[in-house]
Amino acid sequence: MALLEVNDLHVRFNTDDGVVHAVRGVSFEVEQGKTLGIVGESGSGKSVATQTITGLTRGARIEGTAMFEGIDLLAATPEELRSVRGVKIGMIFQDPLTSLHPAYKVGWQIEEMIRAHQDEGRKKARARAVELLSLVGIPNAKTRVDDYPHQFSGGMRQRVMIAMAMALNPALLIADEPTTALDVTVQAQVLDVMRKVQEEFGTAIVLITHDLGVIAEMADDVIVMYAGRVMEKAPRRDLFYANHHPYTEGLLASLPQRNSSGGRLLPIKGSPPSMINPPQGCPFAPRCPYVFNRCVEETPALVPVFRREDHLSACFLSGHQAEREQGKEQMRVALLEEAQLESARLESAKLEGIA
């Protein structure tokens, strides 16, 4: 049985420009001791989906269910959420410098986290804070516990956030871009700390990132999000070596290749759609090299592909490369015809101007 089971999650925000459909029918599961990676471009709905589960999206219109240890987090009262958030579900936010209070020592902040949920004295809470800082690899934890956040480097502050998130041994840890703005060496150290915590306590992890390298190193299962929807869901290895959705293919193709020597990167052409007016049909259709008429008329369901129940994709294409190449050729012909029409229009306008 899954530790966390999210089913058909919808999140909408009312704005002056219209309703933002931030998350549209997202479903996923997280098992005890496993890591679920959520990947996608900025604005795909990754952070909104997970923050909604923990009650951090104020003023949103929310539909769906999020079952965690028998509690529907989306229907829970503030008191029920308080008993879960921080205690059973820990969170590591994207920017530790803004998540930690600059006017309080890091040890005091960890102690307050512990005392807010447990009947512990200051002395025991301080000892636990020192223990946690040592656990995440901060040297001289007994003295550094009295330092302020600005006295730590970016990587060390992220370790403090991990220590705070693990203060009450939660069953689930949600890490939202935990390695953003860190150099490669520090990033590896932070990921190693998370892996160590998971091995020691059996913690489940939801890892939100746009970095596929982090996903390759940490995740057991992966969901790929785009325009508020899940485009593909698969075990990590299948996602990298037998992916199905063109968006996943585009993300992987845009990565620098180890064996290339100064070649150009291959970005996904175009931009993500506006979530105030999401496109009809497949949201990736305007950028997809295989698009055909059905893609812009119908929204593909997330269904099993390659005869694998654990590998789902929201795409009308089969897995056959021949069909994909045919789709690419159709796209090339359409773009060529469009360019020729535009050239003819400009030539006609030019001649009319001369006349």
Same domain, 218 and 305: yes
Q: What is the per-residue pLDDT across 188-200, written as a single tens digit (0 to 9) for each?
A: 888 888 898 899 8
Cα-to-chain-centroid distance, residue 224: 8
**Average predicted confidence (pLDDT) for the chain:** 87
Name 127's Cβ contacts closer than 8 Å, sequence gap at least 6.
none
CA distance 86 to 99: 14
167-176, 265-274, 276-285, range with the lowest pLDDT: 265-274
CA distance 236 to 115: 38
Position of tokens 């929204």?
299
319 pLDDT more than 80:
no
In a domain, 198, yes or no: yes
CATH number for the domain that contains residue 289: 3.40.50.300
Average pLDDT over residues 257-270: 71
pLDDT grade, residue 229 (50/70/90)? very high
Q: What is the per-residue pLDDT across 27-50, written as a single tens digit (0 to 9) for each?
A: 999 999 999 999 999 889 999 999
Domain end position, chosen among 288, 303, 319:
319
Same domain, 201 and 144: no
Q: How many CA atoms lie within 13 A of 304 on its CB side?
A: 5
Q: What is the per-residue pLDDT across 83-110, written as a single tens digit (0 to 9) for each?
A: 898 889 999 887 788 889 999 999 999 9
Higher-confidence position of 96 and 223: 223
Q: What is the per-residue pLDDT across 65-84, written as a single tens digit (0 to 9) for each?
A: 999 998 999 999 988 998 89
Domain end position, chosen among 137, 167, 197:
167
Element spanning 280, H or E: none
Average pLDDT over residues 138-167: 91
Would you state the pLDDT for residue 308?
84
pLDDT grade, residue 330 (50/70/90)? low
324 pLDDT more than 70:
no
Would you state the pLDDT for residue 201?
86
pLDDT grade, residue 354 (50/70/90)? low
Residue 189 phi, psi (nearest 5): -65, -45
- Three-class SS state of 340: helix
Q: Do the beta carbons of residue 246 and residue 289 sit within 8 Å?
A: yes
Higher-confidence position of 294 and 330: 294
Same domain, 30 and 118: no
In a domain, 343, yes or no: no
Average pLDDT over residues 226-255: 93
Would you state the pLDDT for residue 326?
61
Sign of the alpha-carbon dihedral angle for 146, 110, 33, 57: negative
Nearest residue to 234 (alpha-carbon basis) of 225, 246, 224, 247: 224
Q: In this structure, what token pair is assigned to residue 297?
A: 């008329």
Side chain identity, residue 197: V
Nearest residue to 221 (alpha-carbon basis) of 231, 204, 208, 233: 233
Q: Do the beta carbons of residue 33 and residue 198 sit within 8 Å?
A: yes
344 pLDDT more than 80:
no
Q: In whole angstroms, how far apart are CA 315 and each of 122, 135, 243, 281, 326?
A: 55, 44, 12, 11, 15
Number of folded domains that form the chain:
2
Q: In this structure, what token pair is assigned to residue 12?
A: 């909408």
In a domain, 231, yes or no: yes
Position of tokens 């006609």?
348
113 pLDDT more than 90:
no
Q: In whole angstroms, how far apart are CA 257 and each of 218, 224, 264?
A: 20, 21, 10
For 135, the domain range is 97-167
Q: What is the per-residue pLDDT across 289-313, written as a single tens digit (0 to 9) for each?
A: 888 889 999 999 999 988 888 999 9
Side chain identity, residue 5: E
Residue 311 phi, psi (nearest 5): -125, 110
Same domain, 116 and 226: no
Would you state the pLDDT for residue 189?
84
3-state helix, strand, coil in the chain (%, to 5): 40, 20, 35
In a domain, 270, yes or no: no
Predicted structure pTM score: 0.85
Same domain, 185 and 312: yes
